[in-house]
């Protein structure tokens, strides 16, 4: 059984502040929507951030990751009409 993934909960404004910004020397922040339409970033992004202007990330509420449902799941099986 896999462990529960923890993520930091962002406001829309916080998400906008992170778009295009580096988390460390090689990695950009990657805010994503969860299954509840919450903007979140990974706990690793929070913990690995090396820039002091983002110290506020350490105060984010940590929640369980809820994977979004794929709105267009792949089609499996036959697609022929009978």
Going by C-alpha positions, the residue among 82, 80, 41, 48 that lies closest to residue 63 is 41
45: helix, coil or strand? Answer: helix
Whether 53 contacts 45, CB under 8 Å: no
Q: What is the pLDDT of residue 1?
A: 47
Q: What is the pLDDT of residue 65?
A: 96
Measured distance CA(48)–CA(74) in Å, rounded: 35
**Token representation of residue 73:** 């799941």
**Token representation of residue 82:** 């009978």
Domain boundaries, given as residue ranges, for the chain:
6-64
**Token representation of residue 1:** 């059984």
From first to last of its 82 residues, what are the pLDDT tens digits of the chain? 468 899 999 999 999 999 999 999 999 999 999 999 999 999 999 999 999 999 999 999 999 999 998 777 666 665 555 4
Q: What is the pLDDT of residue 81?
A: 53
């Amino acid at each position: 059984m896999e462990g529960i993934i923890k993520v930091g909960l962002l406001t829309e404004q916080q998400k906008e502040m992170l778009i295009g910004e580096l988390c460390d020397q090689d990695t950009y922040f990657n805010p994503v929507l969860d299954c509840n339409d919450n903007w979140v970033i990974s706990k690793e992004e929070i913990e690995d951030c090396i820039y002091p202007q983002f110290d506020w990330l350490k105060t984010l509420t940590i929640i369980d990751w809820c994977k979004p449902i794929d709105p267009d799941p792949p089609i499996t099986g036959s697609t022929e009409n009978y």
